[in-house]
Structure 1
Amino acid sequence: MQKEKYSLGNILTNLKIDSLNEMQQASVDANKQHADVILLSATGSGKTLAFLLPILELLDPANKNTQALIVVPSRELALQIEKVFKLMGTGYKITACYGGHLRETEENNLVQPPAVIVGTPGRLGDHIRRENITVDSIETLILDEFDKTLELGFQEEVSFIIDSLPNIKKRILTSATETVDIPEFLALNNPEKLDFLPEEGSPAARLAIWKVMAPESDKVETLFRLICYLGNRSTIVFCNHREAVERTSKMLSDKSITNTFYHGAMEQQERDAALCKFRNGSVNVLVTTDLAARGLDIPNIRYIVHFHLPHTEDSWTHRNGRTARMEASGTAIVILAPDEKLMSYIDEEVVTIELPETSTLPEKPKWTTIFIAAGKKNKVNKIDIVGFLGNRAHLKKEDIGLIEVKDFFSFVAIVKSKVGHALELIKNEKIKNKKVKIDIAR
């Protein structure tokens, strides 16, 4: 019965996909024939499904313990994989474990072992040491974005995790670059290697590359003029340091560019709020470090702006991987100060663009994000929120945009013109018979 429940046709329907792409099909086929598989494929090409389907083939519905472990370098990637797996509608349970998330919440989720666990090395290692994970039953191991996961700082923890899994029968490693030697502790046995990377690692042709010459070393004014030139399209601006991210974001705000920022020193709720605002269109500009270069599942990003030049070619590749995903087109833009030169590894044609002398501010986003201090653990779901906002705030369906429900809080996009009145109507109202804080998301 379980097999019928998650037929490939049903999964693709649930994911709104017509068919597997060439890389995904090759992965499914190779994993049927080989115990260990290395999959190299560009960011945005659908690697998540390419390893989730082989995992699914190996899960035994009669086994009530954890059977597969997915190790990832970032919490955002863990959450993306968890989301895709749940959308597949297989009936199997998955739990994401990562730093910044309440460990007690994860421990509760692990009491009844999920079939699949996805998580970051530090948090997974912590759960293994606390014996919260049934390691003996895990037979399938995935290292997603393994080049990043195995970088200095994660290697020791990944080694500990693998040493703690005595019964691994299958290993799948995926990456968008081929930049690291695979360490011996992975104990790969004659792995099958699938290389779907573009030749010489060059971006796909649908990625256009532009450069803009800044007249002075402080490039903020040029960035402002560039954003005005691009209009209100979804844009990620990459800086090399957290301090620069916040400084650049503030300078853009001072010039009336609606934006938000995102980096690794922020609290988890702040990160979630920033990404949610960017996803739901409350802001069109996200200023960030390379933390956002991997694993973020944000569709329809049109422009990548390299405000600071990337330190490595690997960083260049992953930053640009946020746009031109699947069949969409995108543009990577490098801002060069007078003393800066274009990176030597860029072989593609680069178009130099001239910015207009006068700048017109982009149209402001139509959405505003509100914060609700209740989530999944409070038994609140999207339907509850839509009903609450419709009944108590008198909002129509078209006034409500993307809703994201986290464990203990939720974010909702509301048409900006309706927000003030809506908040006034619901300030003393209860959700699920409980008074909760509701305000503009900060």
Structure 2
Amino acid sequence: MDLNKILEKLKIKELNEMQQASIAAVENSDNDIVILSATGSGKTLAYLLPLISLVDSDNSNVQAVVLVPGRELALQSDTVLKNAGSGLRSCCCYGGRAAMDEHRKIREQHPQIVFATPGRLNDHLKKGNISPYAIKYIVIDEFDKCLEMGFRDEMSDIISKLKGAQRHILLSATDADEIPDFVNMGKTTNLNFLDKDEQVPDRIKLYEVHSQEKDKIDTLQKLLRSFGEESSIVFLNYRDSVERAEELLHKRGFATSAFHGGLEQKLREDALYKFSNGSTNIFISTDLGSRGLDIPDIDNIVHYHLPLNEESYIHRVGRTARWKAHGESFFILGPDETMPEYINDDVEEFKIPTDLPDPALPKMVTIYIGKGKNDKISKGDIVGFLCKKGGLEKTQIGRIDVNDRYTYAAVSRPMLNQLLKLTRGEKIKGIKTVVEIVK
């Protein structure tokens, strides 16, 4: 593994202390590993980088499984591995879509690493879609969350089937009371980077914002207008509240994405995708979005509803100031609300300016292109198509994701109308395609 090349591809200048210690512990011993580190500290790379060096690229069998509590973390972890350019093949398995489609992908792609939710991986193992015999490494990311979400029985079942596993790597943002016996840990190295005296990193500033009305939506929109183009996550405690806030903000001209557990899978993935590629700058979510989202450069966390407990607060705020960045967290307090007692950090009052600009639209917008991997389309083909047929410069093209049957691409918002006009009815690699905005 050429670590420097991988870090260059991931646009990472240097690894932090936790990541360096984790890589050394995995690569320089045969012990099982437990890594405890705060949300946003980069735990995905802490296990992925050494895993890349352990997995045999010449062996086409599944050699490592990474259990995660939700599909979003599975997808994002898989994306990190692909962006690393290690040459290893991987796939995601999770509920909410046909297991038959995943089985077909597994047969076609021969993944060496599988990112999966416990229930879906258990299903594939039971059906023989994934062979257990070559699997040497079991990673459980957000182990505490997996237990909290009730995956104990599924995880126990999985580990009992993977009798040839040689190493276990567990990662968590909280210090678990104990590791259940079913994990079957051997000699263990514990890496604890949690600071018991620090709720959130000191690079995050906390503010309280007072709303004169019990319905805080007007205060919210004024606060968001004061942020300009900055990216923000707004947390609410209920699904219907998320939908109401998103609808009202959208009508007022904000570029928003709504995210909660009641949405269909594709709507959740579209919302997350548009926020992560900069096509929307306001992400409105329940606490589902406080865990498992690895999106850098989030400027602001807004608590429209107060966190239900300290753990919720810590995970919400952990979405900003990831790695070494800085961020701000705002608590909107109604007439009868006060700051929760469990918050022991300094909180300043934030006064919203009276002279506010209109909602700022992000610089990018997401388009759908109706061709993908099954049509032998690559990222290079998409760039060529957008430049030659759509009249774009390379600097006006952002993130591109080529899926099996379609492609998503982020393009410069001011160029959208020109692009749609010029590409109407045009061909990519000799095949007519559809190009439209993802709403």
TM-score of the two chains, using structure 2 as the length reference: 0.93
Q: d(CA) in 1 for partners of 2:264 and 2:350?
A: 38
Alignment pair present for 1:48 and 2:44: yes
In structure 1, the partner of 2:22 is 27
| Counterpart Cα distance in 2 of 1:62 and 1:414 | 38
1:332 counterpart = 2:329: yes
Measure how far apart 1:200 and its partner are: 2.9
Task: Note the alpha carbon deviations across 1:107-165, whole angstroms, 9 max, x for none.
Answer: 12322642211111121111111111111221211000111011143222112111211
User: Where does residue 81 of structure 1 map in the other structure?
Assistant: 77
| Mapping of residues 236-251 of structure 1, within 5 Å | 236-251=233-248
- Over 3 Å counting, the alpha-carbon distance change for 1:407 and 1:74 in structure 2 is farther
Q: Identify which of 410, 427, 437 aligns with 2:424.
A: 427
Alignment partner of 1:272 is 2:265: no
**2:227 matched to which residue of 1?**
230
Counterpart residue number, 1:90: 86
Amino acid at match of 2:167: K
- Name which of structure 1's ranges 38-47 and 431-440 shifts more when overlaid on structure 2: 431-440
1:69 and 2:51 equivalent? no
8 Å contact kept, 1:113–1:133: no
Please say if residues 425 and 434 of structure 2, whose CA atoms lie closer than 8 Å, have aligned partners that are also in contact: no
Q: CA deviation at 1:101?
A: 4.3
Q: Is the 8 A contact 1:41 1:47 kept in 2?
A: yes
Q: Aligned AA for 2:22?
A: S
Alignment correspondent of 2:395: 398
Unaligned 5+ runs, structure 2: none
1:153-164 to 2 correspondences below 5 Å: 153-164=150-161
2:109 maps to 1:109? no
Distance in 1 between the 2:426 and 2:177 partners? 55
Deviates more, 1:328-337 or 1:195-204: 195-204
Q: Which amino acid aligns with 2:88?
A: Y
SS at match of 1:365: coil
Confirm whether residue 174 of structure 1 aligns to residue 177 of structure 2.
no
| Equivalent residue, structure 1, for 2:343 | 346
The percentage of aligned residue pairs carrying the same residue is 43
CA offsets, 1:399-421, max 9 Å, x none? 32332223332222222332223
Q: What does residue 211 of structure 1 align with?
A: 208
Alignment-mate amino acid for residue 24 of structure 2: D
Structure 1: how far apart are the matches of 2:337 and 2:214?
A: 9
* Residues 65 and 401 (structure 1), Cα distance of their counterparts in 2 relative to 1, 3 Å cut: closer
Q: What per-residue deviation string (whole Å, max 9, x for no partner) do you get for residues 221-277 of structure 1?
A: 110111112222111101112211110011112222222212223233322322232
- Quick one: structure 1 residues 363 and 11, their matched pair in 2 at CA, closer, same or farther if it must change by over 3 Å? closer
2:79 partner amino acid = K
Q: Measure the CA separation in 1 of the matches of 2:415 and 2:227.
A: 27
CA distance in 1, matches of 2:202, 2:223: 23
Count of paired positions: 437
Partner SS for 2:155: helix
Amino acid at match of 1:94: S
- Between stretches 18-27 and 60-69, larger displacement belongs to 60-69
CA distance 1:250–1:381, shift in 2 (3 Å): same
In structure 2, give the amino acid aligned to 1:241.
Y
| Residues in 2 aligned to 1:285 and 1:271: alpha-carbon distance in whole angstroms | 14
Which among 313, 317, 321 is matched to residue 316 of structure 1?
A: 313
Provide the rounded CA distance (Å) in 2 between the counterparts of 1:35 and 1:433: 54
CA shift for structure 1 position 359: 3.5
Contact conserved, 1:276 with 1:404, CA < 8 A, in 2? no
